[in-house]
Chain A
């Protein structure tokens, strides 16, 4: 068990929550201000990655198991594509968000954008964490005994 780096551990625990809240802020203000799903996803993933770097891969995998990461990658794409499929079922073109509010297409565009950006956020979080897991979980090519 790593017990050194007291300051790092305390600061990380303080920061993780803030980072996640900031990610959600960037996520849901994406259609009004700079930001959106991709940036939010990266920030969200950063919260888990820093936790993993400081406390170890095992600990972060207890919080965020690899199988959930796996599903998130697919889920985000399905949210995005699914939004388009819903608009198709409402009688509009694929991804025509006007469908969600026929009398006021601009509102429909806002809602649609919010949903697909959420999908982007989910996938990007998943992919970023998956890349981190893949690199961090990789055993060294030559172990120390082999020399």
Chain B
């Protein structure tokens, strides 16, 4: 049967229109290309070029949406809710920027660190895995399709397990750490997908904006509420929200140094973004159960995390493990900002997402340099190294100050916003005064654990007579870029706080509604 050919109206898409998908596509294609070429020499340059390109794309996206609005992209030209939609607004453009920034800065650092810590024959696959992990994190942030989030979550998680396990060349315990993370991560992902199943059962759709519309119509029922609970617990595991954080210290300690830098600054942050998206855009805070979850579960858990994890960090004898516990505490600050439930609080959470990302990446980079020179990260091993490696030591001091939240560093800005947000709520509820005080008190615990590391670095007598050489230039440059960023963003707050405020405002408005398809009929 001959069908009459007919012309379909079509306006050609330009490169600018493709930016949302290019953000994910560039690293996604680079992974298999690295494996296909199988060249150890080309693996790193390809990975670096892909990361740099994604950074450029993410900056272009952020530039377009920083004043509000969103960019939508339909995959395969299929109209949402049937097709998969990518939607970039101020909130996820900001997180995309953080992830690609850290990815691009960490790779030059990784070159030497990886060569030292991982067997040569695994290097190609290591960078391929790195690219897949990067893709997964970017994808789960960029997409506006709830199930697509799960797919990318799995891509990033599976490659993360492999990356963590690659620490086994240095310490066999990396294998059990990766296994623990695999079990916990899989439980988290399963909970998340069970939650999605319930939401799908109640609404019959997977597009986030469409779910939001239908949930607003039908209000609360048991299916919808349990869906919310499952999604939150599932993401809570990936975030390492206290008390679901048990996988985190082991995974961070035994993973190769470069992997720890990358994961600490991005993986939990992408998961926090997904949780924000579900709490604010898919479900609305107006639903009483969502508000209750934030105020009665997140808030106390965040405060407990701030104190207990900081307390545990203070007793560690291993620099890396100390930083890992400090990460759990810092995630507490981010969640506290979210749970305060006003725009300043959400801004504080998002600002801290970024500031903690760069600070923790810097700290782990410094420890990685010590591992390269001293072979381990126990305080006894790094004793006196701060004096022998002055540039690494100085960068670590800046990072440590930012971790405490000393004025003039990035960490101060997020805590300032956090305290301010708590004071805004204080007039109607005096409990928030106590919370503002607790932010300050827990920072004192940070002083204790950061001081212990400084003491080991500068005041303790070196363990051996052999003088450690300064870290190689390729590691120092990324470290100092981040150290300068820590100070820069502590003084010039417009850039990050402005973007975060826009992101918070966007999230607080709730869903932006379904995409209106214009022009071409598909």
Name A's B-contacting residues (CB within 8 A): 67, 70-71, 73-75, 77-78, 81-82, 84-85, 88, 91-98, 102-106
Q: Which residue of B lies closest to A101 (CB)?
A: B5
Contacts A70-B35, A105-B522 given; 16 further ones with Cβ under 8 A?
A71-B36, A71-B38, A73-B35, A74-B32, A78-B29, A81-B32, A88-B13, A91-B10, A91-B12, A92-B13, A93-B75, A94-B18, A96-B77, A96-B522, A98-B77, A103-B7
Residues on B with C-beta less than 8 A from A67 are: 38
Contact with A along B1-44 (1 / 0, CB 8 A): 00101111010110000100100010011011101101000000
Residues on A with C-beta less than 8 A from B28 are: 81
Residues on A with C-beta less than 8 A from B207 are: none
B29 touches A85 (CB 8 A): yes
Contact of B5 among A84, A91, A103 (CB under 8 A): A103
**Any chain A CB within 8 A of the CB of B76?**
yes
Residues on B with C-beta less than 8 A from A94 are: 18, 21, 25, 73, 75-76
Q: Which residue of B lies closest to A76 (CB)?
A: B32
Residues on B with C-beta less than 8 A from A82 are: 29
A97 to B8, CA, bound (A): 14
The minimal Cβ–Cβ distance linking A70 to chain B, given in whole angstroms, is 7
A71 to B37, CA, bound (A): 8
Total chain B interface residues with beta-carbon distance under 8 A: 26
The minimal Cβ–Cβ distance linking A142 to chain B, given in whole angstroms, is 18
B18 touches A88 (CB 8 A): yes
Residues on A with C-beta less than 8 A from B76 are: 84, 93-97
A102 touches B10 (CB 8 A): yes
A105 to B6, CA, bound (A): 9
The minimal Cβ–Cβ distance linking A126 to chain B, given in whole angstroms, is 10
Name B's A-contacting residues (CB within 8 A): 3, 5-8, 10, 12-13, 18, 21, 25, 28-29, 31-33, 35-36, 38, 73-77, 128, 522
Residues on B with C-beta less than 8 A from A74 are: 31-33, 35-36, 128
Contact of A93 among B5, B31, B35, B73 (CB under 8 A): B73
Residues on A with C-beta less than 8 A from B3 are: 104, 106
B6 touches A103 (CB 8 A): yes
A140 to B73, CA, bound (A): 51
Q: Which residue of A lies closest to B76 (CB)?
A: A95
A98 touches B21 (CB 8 A): no
The minimal Cβ–Cβ distance linking B77 to chain A, given in whole angstroms, is 4
A75 to B29, CA, bound (A): 10
Residues on B with C-beta less than 8 A from A95 are: 75-76
> Nearest 5 pairs between A and B by C-beta?
A91-B12, A96-B77, A74-B35, A74-B32, A74-B36
A77 to B33, CA, bound (A): 9
A78 to B73, CA, bound (A): 21
A93 to B31, CA, bound (A): 22
A74 to B25, CA, bound (A): 15
Residues on A with C-beta less than 8 A from B29 are: 78, 81-82, 85
Residues on B with C-beta less than 8 A from A93 are: 13, 21, 73-77
The minimal Cβ–Cβ distance linking A120 to chain B, given in whole angstroms, is 13
Contact of B522 among A75, A84, A88, A98 (CB under 8 A): A98
A104 touches B77 (CB 8 A): no
Residues on B with C-beta less than 8 A from A73 are: 32, 35
A103 to B329, CA, bound (A): 59
A93 to B85, CA, bound (A): 11
The minimal Cβ–Cβ distance linking A141 to chain B, given in whole angstroms, is 14
Contact of A98 with B36 at beta-carbon distance under 8 Å, contacts A78-B29, A93-B13 already known: no
Q: Which residue of A lies closest to B11 (CB)?
A: A91
A81 to B36, CA, bound (A): 14
A81 touches B25 (CB 8 A): yes
The minimal Cβ–Cβ distance linking B42 to chain A, given in whole angstroms, is 13
Contact of A78 among B18, B36, B77 (CB under 8 A): B36
Residues on A with C-beta less than 8 A from B73 are: 93-94
A-B CB contact pairs (8 Å), 13 listed: A71-B36, A73-B32, A74-B33, A74-B35, A74-B128, A75-B32, A75-B36, A78-B33, A81-B29, A81-B32, A91-B13, A93-B13, A96-B522
Most B C-beta atoms less than 10 A away, residue of A82, A93, A103: A93
A105 touches B32 (CB 8 A): no
A85 to B33, CA, bound (A): 14
A84 to B3, CA, bound (A): 26
A93 to B21, CA, bound (A): 9
Residues on B with C-beta less than 8 A from A88 are: 13, 18, 21
